[in-house]
Amino acid sequence: MLSVLSQKKQGFRFYFALFDGGATYGGGLTEEGELVSDPDCPQKELMFRTLVFKCMNDGVPEAFTRDVWGLDLARFGFRPDGQVFRADAGSFCLPRDCKEG
């Protein structure tokens, strides 16, 4: 069973632990404003969605990340900026992949 729980961690504005069976993986928003995750996390999209949702709910003005998620970051409002991808409060979004009907 998967669960994602908020935790306090030094060096992070917010941090989450993702529990996948007996394994635990972490990710969060660093003090520098970067969205990061453990490289071996098998549920990177779930972690990324959790982090973007938290940014949206907390009114984070801007965040950046690297192309390490295996996702189309533009779908979440991130745009290329040199070696990173950036999004701001007005562009963060959670794409819905559900089909109606």
> Can you give the three-state secondary structure of 14-32, one letter per residue?
EEEEEEECCEEEEEEEECC
Average pLDDT over residues 40-52: 96
Helix residue ranges, H only, 1-101: 44-58
- Asked whether residue 99 carries a pLDDT value surpassing 70, the answer given is no
Give the strands of the sheet with 12-20, arranged side by side.
2-7, 12-20, 23-30, 35-37
Mean residue pLDDT across the chain: 94
With bands split at pLDDT 50, 70 and 90, how would you rate the model's confidence at 36?
Answer: very high
- Asked whether residue 97 carries a pLDDT value surpassing 80, the answer given is no
Beta bridge partners of 45: none
**Closest to 60 (Cα-Cα) out of 37, 87, 81, 96:** 87
